[in-house]
Amino acid sequence: MEECRKTFIERHDWIRRALMLEPRGHSHMSGTLLYPPLSSDADMSLLFIETSGCLPMCGHASIGSVSFAIEAGLVRPKTTGTVLVDVPAGRLKAHYEMDGARVASVRFTNVPSFLLHRDVEVVHPHFGRLTVDIAYGGNFYPIVEVQSNFPGCENFSPQQLLEWGRQMHCVVNAAIDVVHPENPSIYGVRHTMWTGAPVSHDADARAVVIAGDSLVDRSPCGTGTSARVAQRHARDMLQKGQAFRHQSLIGSCFVGRVEETTTLKSGLPAILPSVEGRAWITGRSEHYVDESQPYAHGFALSEFSA
């Protein structure tokens, strides 16, 4: 699927722009393209698209896509209750439970996730000196824990965190090389995780994830949850099999766990995390692309100056 991602970006990125950007989408839009299985033992393949580009992996989109594919009858898994999904970042194994005709939950085992750099010191334009961990869970994240110069995400508005997240991407990319040790096509920071205290007693932690230049994640973020599980395990804060209830900006939760420990070919310790959540089908829509329209392939306000 990584080759499919590259080909899509080179030849068909207009589809992503047309669907994700205005006037059909909006600045926080994300989606998936469902492909037939590209390997003999897989059940389906997914390509992840959003306003910022075509991602290697997206957790909440995986949960939503598996739920929709099962409920709509688009996929007939070889093994009932399990869907094997090829994505650009690797192979996902998704377990689902049914409640009648509805998918009640999806738990996917993600790609190997790891803490790449710990205790990286950066100077942020707003906060000044911050210490962050750089972790990978399908995408790279600088994880900003509560510290003297950052009192927690609950003290700021989503718009503030969005602006400061964009700045964090630039600061981290300028300060340190962030490259996947086994896949050099996955590199750089395009996401930031601002952490804070949970808003309910049934959660262990909370995070607001900023993706690209314009997206504030409403979900707890599947790849972000995987990255944080990897970070906490590397720091001996989370044990194998222990549930980590990760809360989003709006209070929704994913449950992350360390399923297995492993080692990358480079020798870097890693884990296989699982993320569990639920999705609901809210509607269907049909879009048209008229090449005579000035903005047929979509537009973003950031592309224009007043």
- pLDDT value of residue 135: 99
Condensed to tens digits (0 to 9), the pLDDT of residues 289-302 reads 999 999 999 998 88
Q: Three-state DSSP class for 171?
A: helix
In a shared domain, residues 209 and 237: yes
Is 146 inside any structural domain? Answer: yes
CB of 279 within 8 A of CB of 64?
yes
pLDDT at 28 over 90: no
- Regarding whether 149 and 10 lie in a shared domain, the answer is no
Quick check: is 204 in a domain?
A: yes
Q: Is residue 306 over pLDDT 80?
A: no
User: Which of 65, 88, 109 marks a domain boundary?
Assistant: 109
Tell me which of 54, 58, 153, 253 is the catalytic residue: 58
* pLDDT confidence band for 40 (50 / 70 / 90): very high
242 with 134, same domain: the answer is yes
Q: Active-site residue 153, yes or no?
A: no
Residue 294 forms part of a structural domain: no
Q: What is the pLDDT of residues 265-298, one digit of tens each?
A: 999 999 999 999 999 999 999 999 999 999 999 9
Residue 89: which pLDDT band, with cuts at 50, 70 and 90? confident
* pLDDT confidence tier of residue 43, bands split at 50, 70 and 90: very high
The tally of domains found in the chain comes to 2
Q: Find the helix or strand (DSSP H, E) in which 231 lies.
A: helix 222-234
Please pick, among 4, 54, 153, 221, the residue that the annotation labels catalytic: 221
- 287 domain-assigned: no
Domain that holds residue 16: 2-109
221 in catalytic set: yes
Answer yes or no: do 207 and 224 share one domain.
yes
Task: Let me know whether 264 and 135 are in one domain.
Answer: yes
pTM of the model: 0.87
In this structure, are 166 and 261 located in the same domain? yes
Q: Does one domain contain both 119 and 105?
A: no
The verdict on residue 306 lying in a domain is: no
Of 69, 71, 87, 25, nearest in space to 51 by CA: 25
Same domain flag for 105 and 118: no
Section 108-116 average pLDDT: 95
For residue 209, is pLDDT > 90?
A: yes
Mark whether 93 and 140 lie in a shared domain.
no
Q: Identify whether residues 263 and 138 lie together within a single domain.
A: yes
**CATH number of 21's domain:** 3.10.310.10
Mean pLDDT of 94-119: 96
Q: What tens digit of pLDDT does each residue of 172-200 get? A: 999 999 999 999 989 999 999 999 999 99
Q: Which residues lie closer than 8 Å to 30 by C-beta, 6 or more apart?
A: 20, 48, 49, 50, 51, 58, 60, 61, 211, 215
Q: Is residue 302 part of a domain?
A: no
Same-domain check for residues 94 and 125:
no
Residue 300 in any domain: the answer is no
**Reduced to 3 states, what is the DSSP secondary structure of residue 102?**
strand
For 223-262, what is each residue's pLDDT tens digit?
999 999 999 999 999 999 999 999 999 999 999 999 999 9
